[in-house]
Amino acid sequence: MEWTGEALLIGVRRHGDTSLIAEAMVAGRGRCLGLVRGGRSPKLAPALQVGNTIQLTWRARLEDHLGTFTVDLMQSRAADLMADRTKLYLTQLVCDHLRLLPERDPHDSLLGQALSLIDHAPDGAALARFELALLDELGFGLDLFSCAATGATTDLTHVSPKTGRAVSRAAAAPYLDRLLPLPSFLHERGNASPDDIRNAFKLTAHFLDRHIWSARQIDHPSVRDTLVDLLSRDPH
């Protein structure tokens, strides 16, 4: 069994004295793992940095085996990431999120969003939309385009923490202490204020924790809180 594809490297871990197991999002193939023999060598180390775009050739005797990767560097991002703390944290978080996806299940739209986030200036609104897309790809998508109580499609201001459905201003009024704020930029066009960014991340964090982190008994990514703080600061 053999294939070759372009990929975003999202994780590595040691295997034995000299090798690594690499984890990558491969266009058309999804999250794939493979053994890189000699992956800890000085020759391969620069290519095997999380956030790099690489070309992988995977080989295995049978399709369900781990297999081995041969790696060629296509785009190194290490220097840019080391020079920009916010971009470094964002890349780490995006890669951590991609590692939640099922193995060998293509998610090319999400991969495209991830690459756009990594290659452009850090953007809190775009990252919040990426987390919403991640929830959707994992089967826990939110319905932010019509009111759960009235069916209205305008003046949507809150989200039910139980159902993940939007609620209009009028319907939300008696229950404000039980609902999550819905920043308007998540369901219609418009700019996002620092408060909007913070509320968007509170919203996505609630559902990521409910459906994924707590459900799988894993900790939320350690860089997320610091990154959210950096991305939601008032520029003035």
The mean pLDDT of 44-52, rounded to a whole number, is 96
In this predicted model, what pLDDT tens digit does every residue of 104-144 receive, in sequence order? Answer: 999 999 999 999 999 999 999 999 999 999 999 999 999 99
CB-based burial of residue 129 (10 Å sphere; 0-12 exposed, 13-18 middle, 19+ buried)?
Answer: middle
Residues with Cβ < 8 Å from 122, sequence gap 6 or more?
Answer: 84, 86, 87, 90, 230, 231
Q: With a cut of 70, say whether residue 206 has pLDDT above it.
A: yes
Q: Quickly list DSSP for 201-219.
A: HHHHHHHHIIIIIHHHT-P
Counts of helices then strands in the chain (DSSP H, E): 8, 9
pLDDT above 90 covers what percent of the chain? Answer: 93
- What is the reported pLDDT for 235? 64
Distance of CA 58 to the CA centre of its chain: 24
- pLDDT at position 188: 84
Question: Which of 110-119, 157-166, 185-194, 222-231 has the weakest average pLDDT?
Answer: 185-194
Q: Answer yes or no: is pLDDT of 236 > 70.
A: no
Mean pLDDT calculated for residue range 193-204: 96
pTM above 0.85, yes or no: yes
Listed in order, strand segments (DSSP E) in 50-206 are: 53-59, 68-75, 143-147, 156-159, 165-168, 180-181
Amino acid residing at 145: F
Mean predicted confidence (pLDDT) in 197-214 = 97
Nearest partner of 151 among 136, 166, 164, judged by Cα:
166
Report the SS3 class of residue 110. helix
Tokens of 114: 């991830």
State mean pLDDT over 159-167.
97
pLDDT at 63: 85
Spatial CA neighbour of 9 closest among 57, 73, 90, 88? 73
